[in-house]
Structure 1
């Protein structure tokens, strides 16, 4: 077997490639590391060419190491970029937080007597939202089923919420009771009523169904509708 010529080429290729990988760990020196690995690859290729018929194992090992270092450097760079993207996205995300002042949105002292009043069957439009109580029905287990229709006549989507509806016992009642359809479903069953699923309503679309009020919470004289935490209209139930 012929002795390998210029063994230093393979050794240099291995050392320079390893050094390039170490340098590439630091993002500011990534391209410098890649250049060093490239130089190591060149040394290894020259060693392989010069020892083509001599089985220059050091040069071949240097070539394999250099190619491996290039792949490793690319992976390191890709993972670093992915991590930066994730951190950037996380920093731009507006994390929801609870603020005690949020309670003020529903701390409205307006009474039914202060509001515009309509009766069952009347249509009323508030800021582009059309409301109507279709019927009021007493149910088993002391619940009151209030069938309502809500139509979005605005040019944008409206997000309805159970906090938008309250029940007032009297004309001068400023502390009102809430609507809890989920509790009524547990007590009365899911199929007994057409429980309204308050959610986003697109422009020009409508939603209708039953709002269930537990009369054990008090008397029920008005269904009061709010927008953005402000009471807007009182709809007589009887």
Structure 2
């Protein structure tokens, strides 16, 4: 199953793959080693594109007492920080870094009402750079949950990511575990939680979207 954001790219890649195979067969039929090498390279990039846009079915029953991982990746930051865009006070930040081989669907970590949603153009520093959270292209979304209160998540573009897709609109009803967006080709998502939230993960843990419980009440 592939994400809808990859439809055009996959279609284009399929055309390029077929054209590459046909052209190499036609013009390199007598240079077998070169023909096979180019065909393997074309197939490799095609498979990489397919796996990047995969969208595994991970339907869950929403639970207001848990915050689930919004994306797949590695937990790289757990610390108190000053959140200057929306809360303007200290929050507990949990940051998940996604490599190009991770699933890049962004899912709602909690259910609730979308209170804030804003896109920011910016730079394309590597996603783990300390300033990426405030200087890179990003979107910030706040969901108000009846148990945890207001939770902010931030989609951050990385050095390879050139487009952030955000479905959250103010006054939408967010349902935990459903699609909230997509980040194309490498990125990171930061969660800003109330101080004192009981964190259920450790640094370097592998997070799986909709499966890993980041925090619980």
Identify which of structures 1 and 2 has the higher relative contact order when contacts are C-alpha pairs closer than 8 Å and 6+ apart.
2
More strand by share: 2
Q: TM-score, normalised by structure 2?
A: 0.32
TM-score between both structures, scaled by the size of structure 1: 0.30
